[in-house]
Amino acid sequence: MLDVRFVRENPELVKQNIKNKFQDEKLPLVDEVIALDAQCRAAKTEADSLRSNRNKISKQIGYFMAQGKPEEAGKIKEQVTANAKRLAELEAAEAELSEKVTKIMMTIPNIIDESVPIGRDDSENVEVMRYGESTVPDFEIPYHTEIMESFGGIDIESAGRVAGNGFYYLMGDIARLHSAVISYARDFMIDRGFTYCVPPFMIRSNVVTGVMSFAEMDAMMYKIEGEDLYLIGTSEHSMIGKFIDTIIPEASLPQTLTSYSPCFRKEKGAHGIEERGVYRIHQFEKQEMIVVCKPEDSKMWFDKLWQNTVDLFCSLDIPVRTLECCSGDLADLKVKSVDVEAWSPRQKKYFEVGSCSNLGEAQARRLKIRVRGEGGNYLPHTLNNTVVAPPRMLIAFLENNLNADGSVNIPEVLRPYMGGKAKIEKK
């Protein structure tokens, strides 16, 4: 979320940013919020003046009464009553106007970084770099659920009876592989200096609206009926929420955390054949990373975060590429974003396995996260990135490590988490 003062002082820049994100329907909001903010500030100024005069006028009543001038005192009392009524009106107006301003500011998109390519949607994202050799073997690669079934590793039918569509049972070596990847990712990030954390898996509505847009919330979050609680769609939400309404000593920055959690998502809408199986599900597990840092350090941390994911996938013999997200593909709070995509030798193309985002000071402003520096308090920048999110990540792992006989190789770095196994064999 932008500072309303910034919008007031830079209306044309804000409007151009909206155009760059192809959200022209939001252009009238800029002038509307500026007008509402002016009314709000005027109401506050008048209210502050009445408050400051209140004690002075009250003293005049005492003075006239002491002088034996009750009529003059009575006139002052009438003025006090009128002022009190007017002050109540102004306070109500200020609260209402402030709420309207905040509601609009929550929908005006953040200013994107100047390096972000301008494009309408994800079809115009720009490839940055490829890592590893994207090969296609000379044998046919089955669909990922068929590979898992060959190990007795997945049961979607039973999960459908228990919970409905979008759920699964992972079994045996596939379940173990799933846990091994999560554990390896945890230790990988700890070795890179991140503090491991297991966060709350539910968050309150003020945290939800602090970390994401209303549109994202509606599309993603499950609400707990009768409670002010939502199941998290990703652990970065509760991880950033950890700092809500706090003042962080500058000396303790950066805060670098890596977290494990289950994630719950509605996943609204219909998806194609390549997104059945365990590609888009309502429940999955994830290892995440977040950073809270000084504004001048956020670009450096952004590059470190996506590189961590690239390095981890390469260590598992999975070729990946990075994509610079274009302006129209960025969520409203994001300043800049890079997707990491893994190679699918079956599809002969890349697919998304992680997303790294720099949100500037937007989340910090919404959540009232401040830093106490030598020159006073300021807003930090927040960033997040996926380490791994199986079972989707397992699709890339199984396809890229599959052998012609149906067995799957276990990369050396993962073997300690798989009981020393060098490969898993078909049942």
Q: What is the pLDDT of residues 145-191, one digit of tens each?
A: 999 999 999 999 999 999 988 899 999 999 999 999 999 999 999 99
Per-residue model confidence (pLDDT) at position 61:
57
Q: Give yes or no for a contact between 295 and 370, defined as CB atoms under 8 angstroms apart.
A: no
Q: Give yes or no for a contact between 177 and 424, defined as CB atoms under 8 angstroms apart.
A: yes
Q: Which two tokens stand for residue 236?
A: 């970065």
What average pLDDT does range 305-332 have in this prediction? 96
Taking the CA of residue 161 as centre, how many other CA atoms within 13 Å lie in the half-sphere pointing to its CB?
3
Q: Is the pLDDT of residue 74 over 70?
A: no
> Cα(150)–Cα(141) distance, rounded to whole angstroms?
12
Per-residue model confidence (pLDDT) at position 273:
44
Mapped onto helix, strand or coil, the DSSP state of residue 342 is strand
Q: Is the pLDDT of residue 216 over 70?
A: yes
Q: Give yes or no for a contact between 385 and 355, defined as CB atoms under 8 angstroms apart.
A: yes
User: CB within 8 A of 250, min separation 6: which ones?
Assistant: 294, 371, 372, 373, 374
What proportion of the chain, given as a percentage, has pLDDT over 70?
A: 92
Q: Is the pLDDT of residue 341 over 90?
A: yes
Q: Is the pLDDT of residue 372 over 90?
A: yes
Tell me which of 242 and 60 has the higher pLDDT: 242
Length of the chain as a residue count: 427
Q: Give yes or no for a contact between 170 and 159, defined as CB atoms under 8 angstroms apart.
A: no
Nearest Cα residue to 146 out of 104, 124, 107, 174: 174
Per-residue model confidence (pLDDT) at position 86:
87
Q: Are strands 336-344 and 423-424 parallel, antiparallel or unpaired?
A: unpaired
Structural domains in the chain plus CATH codes: 4-105 (1.10.287.40), 122-424 (3.30.930.10)
Alpha-carbon distance values, 16 to 7, 20, 49, 115, 200 (Å): 12, 6, 38, 15, 39
Q: Which of the four pLDDT bands, split at 50, 70 and 90, describes residue 332?
A: very high
Taking only the tens place, the pLDDT of each residue in 273-302 is 455 677 778 999 999 999 999 999 999 999
What contacts 24+ positions apart, CB below 8 Å, involve 404-409?
404/137, 404/139, 406/147, 406/150, 408/147, 408/151, 409/317
Alpha-carbon distance values, 304 to 128, 289, 379 (Å): 15, 11, 21
Tell me which of 71 and 159 has the higher pLDDT: 159
Per-residue model confidence (pLDDT) at position 59:
58
Q: Which of the four pLDDT bands, split at 50, 70 and 90, describes residue 66?
A: low
Per-residue model confidence (pLDDT) at position 279:
74
Q: Is the pLDDT of residue 67 over 90?
A: no
Average the pLDDT over each of 96-100, 109-113, 215-219 and give the range with the smallest value.
215-219
Q: Is the pLDDT of residue 270 over 50?
A: no
Q: Average pLDDT of the chain?
A: 91
Taking only the tens place, the pLDDT of each residue in 396-419 is 999 999 999 999 999 999 999 999
